[in-house]
Structure 1
Amino acid sequence: MTLRLSSLTVCFVSTTKAQSEWKLAELAAAVGVSPRTVRYYVQRGLLPAPPFRGPDTVYGEEHLVRLKAIRVLQARFLPLDAIQAELARLSPEALRGLAEAELPTALLPPPVPPEPVLPPAVSIPGPSGGQAAAKGYQRWELAPGLELHLSNSADEKTRALAERMRALIEQAEGR
């Protein structure tokens, strides 16, 4: 497309060529991680270091594929050491196949229940013992060593969030 304004000509060139090199921020955004995470993965050996060219340093297709594969393996709850071993074991074709796998639905936000129903909870009085109803808390033990405290004065949005958290824990534990 060409646009002519008096003596100024502006040309817009559209390229449909697939991108094969990314700056750090572009690569991180393409995969949904922070640039700091990418640098950390390079430091840990999960990603190969790119050829350093100062501010012109770019990451290639291999980095993108490995980052996507790391995300899939993290979704399967593998620790970084196990992910590193798995990446070293896989062939380039298997790595690409893993990177193209869909992320599990566990990473998608859960549906919000129509009416959050909170089970009976223990009421914990606030610091001014006489105003327990206004300043008290409800407490749930979600798992051994993990508790959820919800203020009695919390709004409906916060209560719905608490219910979603409880549902996720129950789903993960198979209750």
Structure 2
Amino acid sequence: MSYKLDELAGEAGVAPRTVRYYVQRGLLPAPEFRGKDTSYGREHLARLRAIKALQQAHLPLEEIQARLAGASLPEIERLASGAPPRAALAGCPGAEVACPPPARAGGERWERIPIADGVELHVRGDAPERSRRIALDIASRHSTLAPRGSR
């Protein structure tokens, strides 16, 4: 399917200006044609939806860009649905949360590990592996805890 700028923005629930900004920042690939006949495709829509889902997880645009970089369309669609990327889970046996991407130069990086609705653990990117395992252990156990009032 092909979209004009206004159609794409409407489908994704963003302003056309936001689409242009994301293209400029490299979060979205450039559209297929320029000028009056500019068109956007399925990947553009999936990326916009993934960006929104990752923003709702409170990730900054730099982190979102890193997660989308080199991702396949099925992976982007998975992110758009709010699910963690499969590749990110591969290094975390039994984890339901994404492992952090490789460290990047420039700035401190923190990993967010959701525990429950509105609750998350934060682990610094350069934390010892033992600390990271403790956080993942807590995250994996939260789903087995009995709901409040039923103990």
Q: Which TM bucket (shorter chain)?
A: 0.5 to 0.7
Q: Which moved more, 1:90-99 or 1:48-57?
A: 90-99
Aligned partner (choices 23, 31, 49) of residue 4 of structure 2: 23
- Match for residue 21 of structure 2? 40
CA offset at residue 94 of structure 1?
1.6
Name the aligned partner's letter for residue 45 of structure 1. G
Q: Which residue of 2 aligns with 1:93?
A: 74
1:76 to 53, 57, 60: 57
- Cα deviation, residue 89, structure 1: 5.0
Distance across 2 between alignment mates of 1:57 and 1:92: 21
**Distance change >3 Å, CA 51–CA 91, structure 1 → 2:** closer
Distance 1:70 1:172 in 2: 20
Which of 29, 39, 52 lines up with 1:58 in the alignment? 39
Please name the residue that 1:118 is paired with.
none
Q: Which structure is richer in relative contact order (CA contacts within 8 A, separation 6 or more)?
A: 2
Larger Rg: 1
Once residues 73 and 10 of structure 2 are traced to their aligned partners in structure 1, the CA distance between those partners, rounded to angstroms, is: 23
Alignment of 1:5-20 (within 5 A): 20=1
Cα offset for 1:74? 0.4
Aligned equivalent of 2:96: none
Moved over 3 A (4+): none
Indicate conservation of the 8 Å contact 2:54/2:82, yes or no. no
Q: Offset at 1:172?
A: 6.2
Aligned ranges 1:114-153 → 2 under 5 Å: none
CA shift at 1:45, angstroms?
0.1
**Matched positions, count:** 87
Q: TM-score, normalised by structure 2?
A: 0.52
Whole-angstrom distance in 1 between the partners of 2:70 and 2:38: 28
Contact 2:4 2:40 in 1 (8 A): yes
Q: CA RMSD in A?
A: 2.2
